[in-house]
Amino acid sequence: MLSFAFSVLFVIFFMLTLGLRYWLASRHVRHVMRHRDEVPAEFADKIPLAAHRKAADYTVAKTRFGLIHAIWSGLVLIGFTLLGGLQALSTALLHVTGPGMAHQIGLIVAYGVIAGLLDLPFTYWFQFVLEQRFGFNKMTLKLWLADTVKGTLLSAVIGLPLLWVVLALMERTGALWWVYAWLVFSGFQLLMMVLYPTVIAPMFNKFTPLSDDSLKSRIEGLMARVGFASKGLFVMDGSKRSSHGNAYFSGFGANKRIVFFDTLLERLAPPEIEAVLAHELGHFKLKHIVKRIVVAFALSLVFLAVLGWLKNQVWFYTGLGVLPLLGQNNDAMALLLFMLVLPVFTFPFAPLTSITSRKHEFEADAFAASHSDARDLVSALVKMYEDNASTLTPDPLHSAFYDSHPPASIRIRHLHQAGALSGKGTAGMEPA
């Protein structure tokens, strides 16, 4: 009875999520197409009609691709759960490994391999058909394959020991296992923040210290003004994969580094680069990054507590198409089911994250306007919108639901106001 009720609840949320995605995507496509033939007035003198049309076509292609991908992922999810895919996989593995840790880890690895292969055509299509058509792809097939192999090996080397630790904690530490698992998981996340910029990212890209002296002293001036210490300024060869440009921070504590994509440095003038960086420094100085980490850790504690309860409920398994093994350990299955179905139940809450994120963007823009020049930020933003073919006319509801950044026109209007207030005119940053 409970099992059936849970199946029904899952199907309701599943349909709600897909329906919501479909509705938002259709609205977005219609809205963008309706505004395809006219550059919005405030951008009329800055962005040519051809670029505006390209942005519309790119947005529509990406939105349609995203929807088809979501439908495919939904079918795969139903196949693994209600249609018995995980059950069959577990039974087949049990014959090979017998019960125990090998079966547990085997189940998650087998799922990972199958799900990864089922997703591969989409990754390929996105890079070599969609991005290619709009001139953004700079990857060769060889590089793509090397990335895929490297990424898979890396997640095995890092992920398998972590998985083993979590499963051992689930099995041996009693009712409060999820507290220990959370401590291990959070420690691991912090470790990755140190390892990512120094060890992992350099496996995929080349990082060279920024060599342009005048740009360097300009940036160092800005960092001194806002009181920011960093281990270094680096340029990343982003152009070997994509012509999209960006800038970001990584690391924390004494390990902080600022990374510019070579594609960004090529397109923006030094004052614009400074304004973009001032925006990023704003995120740091206003503690947005720390806040984001604290929220993520708190949420993962809540989710683990929920899993701690769910893993002892038979209906949680049977409601999702799995018969739990009697008198045996079902931890890996519980973990897998939880990770698979959680997004179905959390998707309707996505706008909450977007709202916070957009609030932070406005704050970082205001920070940039007061520590750099609002006009430079605006002209950098306009270039980045154009170069990345980001639409200037998103559907307002689609944008409110998904977008981590405010729509271009609203963002730039705020910057003009901030610029007028500080008497420095308007400045801005990253669209992606």
To Zn ion, the closest distance from the beta carbon of 121 in angstroms equals: 33
Name which of 361 and 373 has its Cβ closer to Zn ion.
Answer: 361
Would residue 280 show up in a list of annotated catalytic residues for this protein?
Answer: yes
Cα dihedral 123/129/133/138 (nearest 10): 60
φ, ψ (nearest 5 deg) of residue 262: -55, -35
Name which of 210 and 286 has its Cβ closer to Zn ion.
Answer: 286
To Zn ion, the closest distance from the beta carbon of 248 in angstroms equals: 10
Per-residue x/- marks for Zn ion, 202-221, CB under 5 A? --------------------
Residues 364 to 423: which contact Zn ion by CB under 5 A?
Answer: 364
Residues 352, 147: Cα–Cα separation, whole Å: 33
Three-state SS at 145: helix
Number of residues that bind Zn ion (CB under 5 A): 2
Three-state SS at 53: helix
To Zn ion, the closest distance from the beta carbon of 279 in angstroms equals: 6
Would residue 220 show up in a list of annotated catalytic residues for this protein?
Answer: no
To Zn ion, the closest distance from the beta carbon of 430 in angstroms equals: 5
Half-sphere exposure of 415 (CA within 13 A, CB side): 32
Residues 347 to 366: which contact Zn ion by CB under 5 A?
Answer: 361, 364
Name which of 34 and 359 has its Cβ closer to Zn ion.
Answer: 359
Q: Which of 257, 259, 273 is nearest to 218 (CA)?
A: 273
Name which of 361 and 376 has its Cβ closer to Zn ion.
Answer: 361
Q: Which residues of 36-63 are buried (b: 16+ CB within 10 A; e: fewer)?
A: beebeeebeeebeeebbebbbbbbbbbb
Query: Looking at the DSSP assignment, which residues form a beta bridge with residue 235?
Result: 208, 260
Q: Which of 250, 150, 155, 263 is nearest to 198 (CA)?
A: 250
Choosing from 272, 280, 386, 387, the catalytic residue is: 280
Name which of 331 and 373 has its Cβ closer to Zn ion.
Answer: 373
The widest CA-to-CA distance across the chain, in whole angstroms, is 74
Q: Which residues bind Zn ion (CB under 5 A)?
A: 361, 364
The catalytic residue positions are 280, 365
